[in-house]
Structure 1
Amino acid sequence: MRAGGDVPAGRAGKDAAKEGRGARRPQRRRRGGWRIPAGLIALSLVPSIAGAHRLGELATSAPVTEENARFFAMPLPVVAHIIGAIVYSVLGAFQFAPAFRRRHPGWHRIAGRVLVGAGVIVAVSGLWMAVFYDLPPIDGPVLELTRLVVGTGMLAALVLAVVTIRRRDIAAHRAWMIRAYALAMGAGTQVFTHLPYELIAGTPGVGTRAFLMGAGWGINIIVAEWIIRGRPGPRARRPA
């Protein structure tokens, strides 16, 4: 034995290295916690730019075409929809940063109230446009019906989110807010369902467009349910 119970230098070095790695792990996890919010903001980027372009057209009295005539005839619903969607998508992304929520619980509650309000505006204005705006030739009745289902589903999810948080059912509140956000982010995913098709086959027809749009919402709902139920754990290893 060594005098005074000294630890061998090699072992002490290994222990120090382990402690150093352990101290660095939480920091890496904290940095990694922003990947999901950043990805969600990136997902909303293209629809947000398109919406900002639409607002610019309305603000500058751009030429009226067959494609945008309905927006000039009644601009308030589309303006409310675009602004509400930008606020909802960006602010909602930060709710997917758990460490940030825990450090700022007051911000989480205030942001949640803003999110519900913005989400209701998005859903109601979307339903209004689906019902009262003239149906573009490229959309068709199937896509219009899908939009009505999605808008109603998003509105219902927001209402249930409010009801469950008032009952202090945090898990159910979280689940309904995630579902509402997934439906609202459909426009971002639809960029990726449309782009490969258009690069290969050109502009989709009415039926194909309805399918590609529906696929965007469907993918988001599948991912949302996967998040709500939690990622499956690693499979147990079989004994040798």
Structure 2
Amino acid sequence: MTLHSTTHRAATARWVPFALVALGLLPVASGGLRLGEVFGGPQLMPANPRFEALPAPMIVHLVSVIPFALVGAFQFSSQVRGRWPAWHRWAGRVLVLLGMATAISGLWMTLGYPLQPGSGELLYIVRVLVGAGMAVSIARGLRAIRRGDVRHHLAWMTRSYALALGAGTQVITGAVRSALSGSGSLDFDLSMTAAWAMNLAVAEYVIRHGPGGGARGSRPVELRTEVGNPA
């Protein structure tokens, strides 16, 4: 690899966390407005009888997923990890808890609420799989870092973050569905599912072709001084 390409990749990588934050900005903003309503703020979002009847899982989900999406974006920055390793480790501990709360509350919402109006059984099944998949990914990422396996830790946490950021990509896939005049429940379910599928596809590409991926990263990286400290 030439010096020019290395420098270019490093410069591009600096913008990755900000791109991830931008992707999640709209759902984060709408979630913040919804939380504001619950705690006595003005009603700026459309009424949702499901949330009003059982607000607890929605509150837990929003309180956990918003910081997970915003702070978690910077955990993937090699510059942040290299310059502030202690911050990365302590933030990682908190983010593991927030990520688990996000996954479990997402399952709670799926299983505890009636079907979302305009959606069907397909989206219900996919949401169960996404919640379970996110929880499993975080658990495996935590297990990997406790063994000192940084490569697999990063891979599993990348997958969990990709699933958590599905709402950001759903803004895009939903706009495409609207432009194509898809109005049925199946169209809605497919557009929502496509967002998670796209995020996972990008995550898998980064895992395999990013720094440390593929054959070059086939051997676990051992941490000789920080084993047991979740990143």
| TM superposition score category, shorter chain reference | 0.7 to 0.9
Could you tell me which residue of structure 2 aligns to residue 89 of structure 1?
A: 69
Could you tell me which residue of structure 1 aligns to residue 121 of structure 2?
A: 141
Q: Distance in 2 between matches of 1:45 and 1:61?
A: 20
1:72 partner amino acid: E
Are positions 1:218 and 2:197 aligned together? yes
Could you tell me which residue of structure 2 aligns to residue 169 of structure 1?
A: 149
Q: Name which structure has the greater RCO, CA cutoff 8 Å, separation 6+.
A: 2
Tell me the TM-score normalised to structure 2 length: 0.82
The answer to whether the 8 A contact 1:67-1:136 is kept is no
Q: What per-residue deviation string (whole Å, max 9, x for no partner) do you get for residues 108-156 of structure 1?
A: 1011111111100100000001001122231221101100000000000
Q: Structure 2 vs 1, CA of residues 66 and 227 (structure 1 numbering), >3 Å: closer, same or farther? A: closer
Q: What per-residue deviation string (whole Å, max 9, x for no partner) do you get for residues 137-195 of structure 1?
A: 31221101100000000000001011111111111111100000000011101111111
Q: CA deviation at 1:96?
A: 2.0
Could you tell me which residue of structure 2 aligns to residue 230 of structure 1?
A: 209
Are positions 1:206 and 2:182 aligned together? no
Q: CA deviation at 1:29?
A: 6.5
The answer to whether the 8 A contact 2:177-2:188 is kept is no
The answer to whether the 8 A contact 2:166-2:195 is kept is yes
Query: What are structure 1's unaligned runs of at least 5 residues?
Result: 1-21, 233-240
Are positions 1:185 and 2:165 aligned together? yes
Q: Distance in 2 between matches of 1:220 and 1:214?
A: 10
2:141 partner amino acid: A
- After TM superposition, which residue ranges in structure 1, 4 or more long, deviate above 2 angstroms? 28-34, 59-63
Q: Distance in 2 between matches of 1:184 and 1:231?
A: 20
Q: Distance in 2 between matches of 1:170 and 1:116?
A: 15
Q: Distance in 2 between matches of 1:29 and 1:163?
A: 30
Q: Distance in 2 between matches of 1:181 and 1:145?
A: 20
Q: What per-residue deviation string (whole Å, max 9, x for no partner) do you get for residues 60-103 of structure 1?
A: 3777x995112122212101111211100111110121012111
> For the pair shown, which has the larger CA radius of gyration, 1 or 2?
1
Percent identity, please. Answer: 42
Could you tell me which residue of structure 1 aligns to residue 101 of structure 2?
A: 121
1:179 partner amino acid: R
The answer to whether the 8 A contact 1:78-1:125 is kept is yes
The answer to whether the 8 A contact 2:177-2:187 is kept is no
Could you tell me which residue of structure 2 aligns to residue 42 of structure 1?
A: 22
Tell me the TM-score normalised to structure 1 length: 0.79
**Would you say how many aligned residue pairs link Structure 1 and Structure 2?**
208
